[in-house]
Amino acid sequence: GAGVSQSPRYKVAKRGQDVALRCDPISGHVSLFWYQQALGQGPEFLTYFQNEAQLDKSGLPSDRFFAERPEGSVSTLKIQRTQQEDSAVYLCASSRSRGARGYGYTFGSGTRLTVV
């Protein structure tokens, strides 16, 4: 596609519910990143994929957070047993080069998760 597509745009979850957020990167992009952005703050790194390999998951805040990219294209961020502090915008970004150095680094519009 022309850009990075994320779905759903908005998600309201009851506390304790599991959610799955989807990211469709730009076709052919090797690298894919997930970020968490709290209100009024900059994005915070969650995890990085190079093709299907998850090379860094050091930013995942707890073992309730899980990300996958099984075929090296679409990625899913799953949050189990959601809690109120999980409320944030979840951004996905992709790049045609390995890592984040490339000029083609593009963000999606994000999924706004609200846990009630």
Partner 1 sequence: KNQVEQSPQSLIILEGKNCTLQCNYTVSPFSNLRWYKQDTGRGPVSLTIMTFSENTKSNGRYTATLDADTKQSSLHITASQLSDSASYICVVSASGGYNKLIFGAGTRLAVHP
Q: Which residues are at the interface with partner 1 (CB under 8 A)? A: 4, 31, 33, 35, 40-45, 48, 50, 55-56, 91, 93, 98-101, 103, 105, 107-110, 112
What minimum distance in Å lies between the beta carbon of 81 and partner 1? 27
Using alpha carbons, list the distances in angstroms from residue 17 to 14, 42, 84, 97.
6, 26, 11, 36
What minimum distance in Å lies between the beta carbon of 67 and partner 1? 15
First to last CA, the chain: 33
What minimum distance in Å lies between the beta carbon of 39 and partner 1? 11
Bridging pattern class, strands 111-115 and 10-13 = parallel
